[in-house]
Each structure stands twice: as structure tokens, then as C-alpha cells.
Chains A and B, each alone.
Chain A
Amino acid sequence: MHKEFLMGNAAIARGAIAAGLDLVSGYPGTPSTEVLETTAKVNDGSIYVEWSVNEKAALELGAGAAYSGARAMVTMKQVGLNVASDPLMSLAYIGVKGGMVIMVADDPGPISSQTEQDTRHFASFSKLPCFDPSSVQEAYDMIQDAFEYSEKYHTPVLFRPTTRVCHGYASIEVKDEDEYKVNKPEGFVKDSSKWVIFPRLSYNAHMHIEERNAELSEVLSGYERNFIVPAKDSSCRRGIATHGISYTYVMEALRDKPAPAVFKVSTPFPFPEQAAVKFLEGLDEVLCVEELDPVIERELTYICGKYHLGTRILGKLTHNIKTAGENTCGTVAVSIAGFMGWEVPETAETEAPPALPVRPPVLCAGCPHRASFFAVKEAMKGKKSVFCGDIGCYTLGNAMPLDMVDTCLCMGAGVNITQGIGKIEPDTNCFAFVGDSTFFASAITGAVNAVYNQANMTLVVLDNSTTAMTGHQPHPGTGRTMMGQVVDKVSIQDVLRGVGVKTVETVDPLDLKTAVETVKRVAAEDGVKAIIFKSPCAVLIKSGKPAVIDPDKCTNCKRCIKALGCPGIVMRDGRPAIENSLCTGCGLCSQVCPFNAIGGAGNAE
């Protein structure tokens, strides 16, 4: 063992490797991405690492490997599990041979997600065991336990850290390489009575799963990470039940206090019922400190009924803990003080701070998406139009002054949402914007649907040749894999032509005049047509020379600022000025200035 300072996600990857990992697959999504990236980074070539096109593909790949006796991990964020839920539900019935851990990162807040869904529900829904770590060290240790349980019980298991565990750092104890488990996959052994799902098999499997989970509930009641911290004052008849990162907030809040007993639940499913009964006995009231949904609270309420215990269970359902958003050290301390009847120190009156500037996320200076949105906006000026957005950096096209994202729902949804709006309002120019990675992940079926069902719409693919928002992962269009291979690029243009989109035009959005003309021409056609705006992510290319504003020509009309909202243009001494540290020289503002006052940009010559 030795000490290292690791990010939670890196600790999960390193723990999985120590457990004898053979294969990892996933789709990028905050806060889960670094698990797979770390595995790729430290891989000596013995682990197969893959960014799959989406979570469903990743999970199916992992299942195949685990059928063959490999130890497999699949990584995704919580909404990714929605995409992978079809194979997940069936795989629960089939089971696995090698250990298989599905690492699903939840995002209380949410900080960078569409929903605050709780993967612990997916565990009980799919009937799969679930592990819920509370710290970086525990994440490292627990993922190894998860592989053991998975292999022992021949079932995939869920492992669900939350953002603060995934992205927290800590100095932790990790194994030396000679302590790693080595797994030798046996290979796939044919047995159609085992690997082919049929109603008869499902009935038997269902019976078996229920028996196994009852057994697991007993076993997990003795699991060392489901534990009770005894009360400092043994006469205290109150207790706190908690999980995940909230456990650490609870322990911080109880520092130097005559603390009540604390029940830490590390396996929300199957719930450690006997451990819970032991905790509840003799307690009058229990406060459940949870993030996302009141899973422990409902379990304890149920157990009180089942065992005729008189303990009052408090938490989100009783409004003792807020129902949405993240917990913090501060909110938990206040909730516990209220529950225990402790005094909350009054905060002294302080001078109100001056109005603080807000810094909402915006498209980067030089981002080609800004040019794409602006081109479509210019082309559609005065026309009835709808702009359906999607998931990625380009969701930020909704911000003023662009204001070019009318809808955003989930990965790939914009294509068929705009189709639906067009069916109800046929006089609307319907647009769907989708990024290149999202296109491969889940917009291709949408495009086929639109073509087949005679939609009238323009599909705009914003192709910056990377998965930018999650930190520049490769995808089928980039020609690189996580194993370091250079492979044939899958062409978005060919895919669209192949599914029957007759007009597919590829344009550089930073050539504004051509871009606007192309949008006007293509949008006027009937049927499904596509424009691919192709220009690399500004973060990945070397910046050109920054733009220069000619003070003699600049009339201070501020059109550059009001039209584009680029962080590279600021007001200095009452006039627009270029922020040289940010400007990439993309040249868009030069093409927007009505007085030709902006020049000198790297590629505007």
C-alpha cells in the first residue's frame, strides 16, 4: 500500500484495475467521464478501453465481456442509464459470469445534468445490488467489493457515486501493483438455456432474483460499510440515517457535539434490513439525511411498519431535509441542529456586499458554434422559425444575445421535437441543432424517422470534431479510439445521405456570407435536408492573431457586442475593445462589423 492524491473518479478507476479489470466501456457525461479516461491513461495495454457511441452500446459490450468471464466496468452519468435501461433490465435476469460493475454517477443539484434522478431507484427497479460510496477512499475500496459481490452472485451490480465524490480529491491509501488481483477470463461458453432470454427463463430468473435479494439483504446487514456509529450519549433516543457524501456532512456537523447514533447505508439495495432494525430499536426519532430521493427514509418507514416499531422517521417527506438540490455541510448542520434542538448560532449583521457580476457559462471566444447560430439567425430573420437544441456545449446558444435554442430535452431529442412542431405548425421553418458526438450517440435514428415520416425540417449538425463539453473525447467521426488506434472516420455526410437525406451541404460557419446563403437556400427546400457546419473546437486549435479594432473606423455602434456576445470583445473606456488573452482570431466579428473596423484576425485575411 502507498499514498496518492487522487480524484474520486481516478480512485474508482484505480480500484477497478486493482480488482482485475479486463474491459471498460462508457459514454462521456459529467460527473462520470474521468473514470474511463483514467483507466485509458494508466492502461498498460492489458485492459480494453472504449468510448462507445452511447450508453446502450457500452452496456451491451460490457455484458458480452462479462458473459465471457471478464471483469467489466461500464461508466456513464445518471441520464445515460436511461439510454442503457433496455439492456440493463434484461441483463438483470440473465446475469453474468465475470464481475460486472455499472458505474453510474448521480448529480445532485443538478450541477450539469437535465434531471435529479436517483440511480438507487434504478437499482430496486432492476433488482440489482447497488453500492453508494461516501468518500474518495471509500470509492477506491468499495469498487473492489462491488466486483467481488458481482462475481459471487453472478449479477451485474450498480455503483453510484455522486458529483462531490467523483470530483473530490483526497490523499488515500492505494494498493501496489503486486497486490492487484489478476483475472483470467475463461471465454464464452455456449449454453442457450442460460444466455438466451425467453419467457420461461425469465420466470425462473425472477424467482431466483427475489430469493437472492432476500439473502443479500441479510448478507449486506453484516457488510462492514453498512455500519452504525454509536451515540456518544447512550441515553440519546434520536438517530441519524444517511449515505454517500451526506454521511461526511453529518459527521462534520456532529464534531464536538453530544452526538446521536448514526446509521450509514452503503447498499441502498438490497436494503440491509436487519442492520436497520438493530439501529432503530430504542430510538424515538430518526432523521434521514439524503440527497436526491428519500430512499432510506421510505425503507425505514416501511421497516417500522413491518416490525411494529414506534420510531418516527423524518427527512424529505416530512420537510426536515429540503426535497431538491445538493446538501452542504451548512444545510446539514442546520437540519441536525433543528432535529436535536441545538441552538444555531446567530449570524452577526454584516454589510451587504456590492452587486456582484454574474458569470453564466457562455460559448468560448472563437467557438464556431457562435458563428453557426448567428448564420442561421441572420438567414431566418423575419421568418417564422423554431430552433430545437440538444445536449452539449451548443446548449449555451440559448444565452443572449444569440437566443437560438428554443428547446432542449435529452440527447438527440431535438430532431424529432422539431418534426413534431412542424406537424402541428406546417408554416414554421423547423430546425434541429445537434453536435457531432450527439449525432452518433442518438440522432441517427431520429433522422431516419424524420425522413421516413415525411418531415419538413433542416437538420444542422454542429461538427467540431470532438465531444467538447465533457473534455474532448474522441467519437466515430474523429478517427481515433481510446486504444490509441487511428481508424477510418465515420462520415456524417455519408450517414445522412445513406438514410435518405437528399440535400446535405457542408459549410465552414466562420465563412459567414456563404453560411448565411447556404442556410437560406437549404431551408427553402421541402423535406428533410441537412447542413453540416464544420469547424474545429476553438479550445483544440492554436489561436490565430487576435483581431484589431481600427479606432478611426469604429463608430462605437457596438454591433459586434450586441450581435455576438463573444467574451473576446469587451467594453474598455466606453468603446469595444479586443481582449487579447481570449481572442482566437476567428474573424467572425470582422464579418459582422458594418464599418469594416475590425481586422487583423488570424484567418480573416
Chain B
Amino acid sequence: MQSNILICGVGGQGIVLTSKLIAAAAMEKDIPVMSAETIGMAQKGGSVFSFLRLGDGIYCPMFPEKTADIIIGFEPAEAVRMLPYLKDGGKIVLNTHPIMPVTATLSGSDYTGREMIEYLRRNVADVTLVDGDKACEEIGSPKVLNMVMLGAAVRNDVLPFTIDDIEETMKKTVKPQFVELNSKALRY
């Protein structure tokens, strides 16, 4: 079995870390894994994406359009930007909180993210909306957004992992004092 996963959002949201955690979980299960992400000119605030592929017989970390099983979108407009990669019948897990780019501030445009969410719901049958802001507030840390998103993605049954699998891997990578917080986020 092969899984193509696309994680996207804005620099600083913890996308690369999420990708690393999924890869580590795959390594634990001896599933071959490849990934590729944007690095370079994209500083804080730039569009960031990570392609992740699990399974046998994979040649390259990037996959073509219309082949992602799931898009984990940390930001509404970024999920729309990467939508061409979603396969027919693919799923989206989306954080509803928009991040306004500097250029929008300068030009005075009023991007709210709502039009993006509506567009996704019109065009994709299976969209899970996550209020990431509310979740982080309830859990008590702005830094757990990635675990909230990953937990929601795992519950969609597209990844070859259970929440317990991810939790075990997470325990090996985060500092002991943050384990509880992250567990709470995964199971939010």
C-alpha cells in the first residue's frame, strides 16, 4: 500500500515537524518513507508544504497532481493552493484560522479565509474542519496546533497509523514535560 500525504500552511506553523513525526512513525513500523519540503527563500510567513510518501516501490518524494490521499491544511488559502494535488475522492483536514500575508496588509485587502473554506467545501466531498485557534486555547498552548491537526488527520483513517502509534513516536521526540500537552492535542 502507498500513501501520499500533503501537509501545507505558512512558515512557523510546525509543518516540517509534523512531517518528521509521521516519517518517524513510519520508520517504527518499517514502512519505507520519503519526503520533500520547501526550504530556502521561504522564511517565516512564506507558503510551506511538505510532500510525504509511505510504502514500497516509490522512486521520488514528490508526487504528481491528483494523487494525494489527504491534504492536511494548516491554513485555508494554502490548502486551496495545493488542492490540485488531491486525488478524486481524497480527504482534507483543514485548520479554519487564516493567516494574513504582509502584502494583503499593504494593499488593504481583507482576506478572511471564509471564501477559501467555502470553496473547498463546494469542491471536495470530505472536508474535516478544525478550529485550531480554539483548540490551542483550550489545550493551553499555541504550539500544539500541529498535534491537533495530526490527530484529526489520523482519525480520518487515511494514514497507516493509530493515535496510539503517533503518541508513542511523539513521546520519543518531545521533551518529557511536553508529552502530556501533546497527547491532549493529539486526542483533541
Contacts and interface: CB of A to CB of B under 8 A. Distances in A.
A30 B27 CA distance: 28
Given A30-B40, A357-B103, A561-B106, A135 B59 contact: yes
A333 B119 contact: no
Q: Which of B39, B108, B116 gathers most chain A CB within 10 Å?
A: B39
B34 interface: yes
B26 interface: yes
Nearest to B60: A248
Interface in B133-162: 142
B89 interface: no
Q: Which of A111, A249, A354, A393 gathers most chain B CB within 10 Å?
A: A354
A283 B65 CA distance: 31
Nearest to B53: A170
Nearest to B110: A571
Given A354-B119, A362-B43, A571-B105, A170 B61 contact: yes
A359 B59 contact: no
A357 B105 contact: no
B123 interface: yes
Given A111-B41, A353-B80, A567-B44, A251 B106 contact: no
A272 B93 CA distance: 49
Interface stretch (A49-57, A161-169, A496-504, A526-534): A161-169
Given A112-B40, A329-B60, A5 B122 contact: no
Contact of B102 (A248, A354, A565): A565
A171 B23 CA distance: 8
Contacts of A362: 43, 45, 102
B64 A168 contact: no
B186 interface: no
A218 B48 CA distance: 45
A360 B10 CA distance: 11
Interface residues of B, number: 49
B61 A169 contact: yes
Nearest to B88: A348
Contact of B36 (A167, A351, A358): A167
A358 B109 CA distance: 12
Contact of B44 (A136, A400, A565, A582): A582
A376 to B, nearest CB: 20
Nearest to A351: B123
B35 A561 contact: no
A208 interface: no
Interface string B20-45: 00011011001011111101111111
A353 B62 contact: no
Contacts of A561: 105-106
Interface in A309-329: 328-329
A519 interface: no
Contact of A111 (B30, B40, B65, B104): B40
B100 interface: yes
B62 A329 contact: yes
A196 interface: no
Contacts of A3: 27, 30
Contacts of A569: 105
B115 interface: yes
Given A357-B77, A361-B41, A251 B59 contact: yes
B16 to A, nearest CB: 10
Contacts of A361: 41-43, 46
A581 interface: yes
Contact of A169 (B34, B59, B103, B111): B34
A105 to B, nearest CB: 11
A121 interface: no
Contacts of B103: 357-360
B71 interface: no
B184 interface: no
A72 to B, nearest CB: 27
Interface in A1-39: 3, 5, 30-31
A171 B26 contact: yes
Nearest to A331: B64
A330 B68 CA distance: 13
Interface in B39-80: 39-47, 59-65, 77, 80
Nearest to A348: B88
Given A5-B27, A354-B80, A565-B106, A164 B100 contact: no
A251 B63 CA distance: 12
A405 interface: no
A281 interface: no
A356 interface: yes
B61 A358 contact: no
A566 B110 CA distance: 17
Contacts of B33: 5, 169-171
Contact of B59 (A252, A354, A364): A252
Interface of B: 10, 23-24, 26-27, 30, 32-37, 39-47, 59-65, 77, 80-81, 83, 100-106, 108-111, 115-116, 119, 122-123, 142
Interface of A: 3, 5, 30-31, 111-112, 135-136, 163-164, 167-171, 245, 247-249, 251-252, 328-330, 333, 350-351, 353-354, 356-362, 364-365, 393, 400-401, 539, 561-562, 565-567, 569-571, 581-582
23 contacts: A5-B24, A30-B39, A136-B34, A163-B40, A167-B36, A168-B35, A170-B32, A171-B33, A248-B59, A249-B59, A328-B62, A328-B64, A333-B64, A354-B80, A357-B100, A357-B103, A357-B104, A357-B109, A359-B103, A361-B43, A364-B45, A365-B44, A561-B105
